[in-house]
Structure 1
Amino acid sequence: MASMPPICDFGWKAVDATLISVDGKHHSILGEAGPRGLVVAFICNHCPYVKAVIGRIVRDARDLKELGIGFVAINSNDAGAYPADSYENMKVFARENAFPFAYLHDADQVVARAYGAACTPDFFGFNADHELQYRGRLDASRKEEGATDLRRDLFEAMRQVAETGEGPREQIASIGCSIKWREPV
């Protein structure tokens, strides 16, 4: 079922946490920031919305690094109910797609809850002071990869953040599969 996150809460401060990455090491979310900002992306391995654009996510992460913007991806889905999103399958997905960024496992879903993550993909773009400046879509793609000439919404917003410290006031929310929350015990 498709889900959409709320609009950007400008100035909201990024939450730090240390999680295990697919490289077997623990990474701090804020430790992945570049000198001009950070994108925190909630993704997973099985979502058709993520699968449709994973190549574009990788491209934008590489291009943003050149602008001084760091990038980190987090999988918070319940792997018990969705085995395709297990930590072992995260390693495979990252390798198959040549991730140039840390792909972190939020097994207890604490980070997703702290961020208010709603869907996969869900993008949070922060400036150098770790203040939220973008909560929008990658581009106009949905479950199918869009045309090659689509406007790169995330990239352009984060370019503006790198240059000015502020994101665009007009933003279009991402859309994707809902976060797969564990049932309360």
Structure 2
Amino acid sequence: MAATPPVCDFGWKAPDFRLVATDTHFYSLDDLKGENGLVLAFICNHCPYVKAVIDRIVRDAGDLAPLGVGFAAICSNDPESHPDDSYENMQAFAKQNRFFFPYLHDEDQSVARAYDAACTPDFFGFNKDLELQYRGRLDASRNKAGPEDLRRDLFEAMKQVAETGQGPREQVPSMGCSIKWKAA
């Protein structure tokens, strides 16, 4: 089922966390942030919306690095109801898609809850002070990749954040599969 996150809450401070990544190392916000900001992307392995743009996510993470913007992906889905999103399958997905950034496992879903993540993909773009400046889409792709010449919404927004500390006031929310929550 498709879900859409809420609009950007400008200035909201990123809650800290410590999660294990597919490389078996643990990371916190301080480990991930760049000198000009940070993107946290809630994704998963099985979602058709993520699969359609995973190459573009990796591209944009690479293009943001020289601008001083850190990048990490987080999988919060329940692996019992969705085995494709298990830690072992996250490791395979990261390798298959040549992730050079941390892919974090939110096993207890506490980070997704703290961030109010709604879907996969769900992008959170922070400035150097870890204040939210972007909560929008990667580009206009949906569950199929759009044309190569689509405007790169996430990249352009985070380039602006890196340069000015402020995100664009006009943002189009991401759309994707809902987070797969564990049974209460």
TM-score by length of 2: 0.99
Q: Please tell me the residue identity of whatever aligns with 2:11.
A: G
| 3-state SS of 1:162 partner | helix
Query: Could you say which residue in structure 1 is the equivalent of 2:108?
Result: 108
Deviation at 1:29, TM superposition (A): 3.0
> Would you say the 8 A contact 1:137–1:154 is kept in 2?
yes
Q: Please tell me the residue identity of whatever aligns with 2:153.
A: D
Deviation at 1:15, TM superposition (A): 1.0
Q: Distance in 2 between matches of 1:35 and 1:52?
A: 30
Deviation at 1:30, TM superposition (A): 3.4
| 3-state SS of 1:60 partner | helix
Q: Please tell me the residue identity of whatever aligns with 1:163.
A: E
> Would you say the 8 A contact 1:42–1:119 is kept in 2?
yes
TM-score by length of 1: 0.99
Q: Distance in 1 between matches of 2:55 and 2:29?
A: 22
Show CA shifts across 1:54-104 (max 9, x none).
000000000000100000100000000000000000000000000011000
Query: Could you say which residue in structure 2 is the equivalent of 1:94?
Result: 94
Q: Please tell me the residue identity of whatever aligns with 2:14.
A: A
Query: Could you say which residue in structure 1 is the equivalent of 2:155?
Result: 155
Instruction: Give 4+ residue runs of structure 1 displaced > 2 Å after superposition.
Output: none
Gaps in structure 2 of 5+ consecutive residues: none
| 3-state SS of 1:40 partner | strand
Show CA shifts across 1:79-131 (max 9, x none).
00000000000000000000011000000000000000000000000000000
Deviation at 1:137, TM superposition (A): 0.1
Q: Distance in 1 between matches of 2:30 and 2:168?
A: 22
Worse overlay, 100-109 or 20-29: 20-29
> Would you say the 8 A contact 1:29–1:72 is kept in 2?
no
Q: Distance in 2 between matches of 1:133 and 1:57?
A: 18
Q: Distance in 1 between matches of 2:44 and 2:74?
A: 8
Deviation at 1:160, TM superposition (A): 0.2
> Would you say the 8 A contact 1:120–1:179 is kept in 2?
yes
> Would you say the 8 A contact 1:19–1:27 is kept in 2?
yes
